[in-house]
Chain A
Amino acid sequence: MKSQNRNLAEIDFENNENTSQFFTLIKTEYLKNLYQTYFWLIILVIMYVVYQFFTTPFNQTITIFIVDPVIMCLLFSFYLLIHFFTLTYARFTPTIINFLEKELSLLDYKIQRKYKISLSIVLFTCFSIIVFIFVIIGIYYYSNNIVISLIMRLLIVFIFTGITIPVLRGRLHDIFLVNLRNSYFVQIELQLKLIKHKEVESQMVKIFMTSNKLSPKADQSGHALYNKIIEKRWLQKKDNKILPRFISKNYLFFHEYATLINFKEQILNVVSAIREWDITKG
């Protein structure tokens, strides 16, 4: 890894050989993380399925053992741990992060990881806990075998999706921030398409940049200024991020897209647009 990091200083997109080495390194690191995640995910699911298999009696009468809720509690705690830890700590390949940090330091900016706990995660976790409580209550109060069996199967699906969704969000689609003056910031989202072989190397890592909320769309003077700036700076009119943002529908944002090759120029373009917005808007 040390030698790889040393190589990082020599990254030169003008040289095809170095560029290929760089993307191979990113791909290796990324796939290593991804396979590790899925390995633990599969182990967890296998453990649960094996447990279900051995504890479910073969006769028609299903007995609820005392260990059932204990095991479920453990699994659920494990799920929550994975949920939070993957989103908080497990990130992209160190090479990409180093590269972004280095490029931004040339502009005197600092990158910051955003994923603390957003509202959507809190809501999702609350929903998970409520569903879990209902499942426990259901197991205790329903003597109907079919209902119990159905609930247990739903629980497997719930745990599996509960782990997979945050892992996918955390691993494949992450958010960083670059703080600016006057509470403005640029949000950076990365999208890695490293498994598709058809993708051009430079397009394997896509960077979506978004400013913070500028003004409501209903504000006509703001809208006019916004249009003027995005036309002048060739900024994107639409948000091309993978996950739609329903909350942001009624507000104006600056959007820009970059790859690793032109990242520095493109982020400078967004920052300049924000600066122009702030100065003109007063």
Chain B
Amino acid sequence: MNSITEFLEKYHLDSFDEVLKLRGNEKVTFFNDLNSLFGSICRIFDKLTTIFSLRGGQVLMSLAKLQDYEDIISKTDVMNCLNVDRREKLMHAFDVLLEQNYIKIKKKTSKFHMVKLNEQDNPDFTLLREIVQKFWTSPQEEKDKAKSWSGIE
């Protein structure tokens, strides 16, 4: 089990008309599925914390987040989402992630590079995408909220 949406649908957890009743084997399967999800989350933690690039983990998260709004994601979109001022700061992260096969990059022009999470080779990224899209506040969103809080008149 690598998807929280699949898990919710399987047990109708998002339906408030039905009562959740688990008996015998169903309960065992439920716990196995839940454990499988936690296992995936731990593998995600492991991958994020061992990426040899300071901003590598954040680039993955921003890609996961942006996939919710846009079909085509460029490196500039990632830069804006992470509230980074220069693309050069993310170069190392993109190189490392590409090398580790965590992302796919299509170079349309010399400046326009399309980036995508490589969910095919890393099935755990589906769960990462689902969690991030639902719960993560990106630095850009955080900045937009806090921006109006500047004391500059």
- Number of interchain pairs (Cβ within 8 Å): 59
Chain A, Cβ-Cβ closest to B146: A271
> Known contacts A13-B54, A107-B143, A274-B149: does B83 contact A264 (CB below 8 Å)?
yes
Total contacting residues, chain B, CB less than 8 A = 22
Residues in A whose Cβ lies below 8 Å from that of B151: 109-110, 178-181, 184-185
Q: Within 8 Å of chain B (Cβ to Cβ): is A149?
A: no
A6 to B: closest C-beta gap in Å: 15
Q: Within 8 Å of chain B (Cβ to Cβ): is A12?
A: yes
Residues in B whose Cβ lies below 8 Å from that of A14: 53-55, 89-93
CA distance A254 to B50 in the complex (A): 30
Q: Within 8 Å of chain A (Cβ to Cβ): is B109?
A: no
CA distance A13 to B147 in the complex (A): 25
Contact B54 A108 (CB under 8 A): no
Q: Within 8 Å of chain A (Cβ to Cβ): is B139?
A: yes
Residues in B whose Cβ lies below 8 Å from that of A110: 150-152
Q: Within 8 Å of chain B (Cβ to Cβ): is A272?
A: yes
Q: Of A12, A13, A271, which one neighbours B149 at CB under 8 angstroms?
A: A271
Contact B89 A109 (CB under 8 A): no
Q: Within 8 Å of chain B (Cβ to Cβ): is A27?
A: no
Instruction: Give A residues with C-beta under 8 Å from B.
Output: 12-15, 106-110, 178-181, 184-185, 261, 264-265, 268, 271-272, 274-275
Give 20 new A-B contacts, CB below 8 A, not counting A14-B54, A108-B147: A12-B88, A12-B89, A13-B54, A14-B53, A14-B89, A14-B91, A107-B150, A108-B152, A109-B150, A109-B152, A179-B151, A181-B148, A184-B149, A261-B54, A268-B139, A268-B142, A271-B146, A274-B149, A275-B145, A275-B146
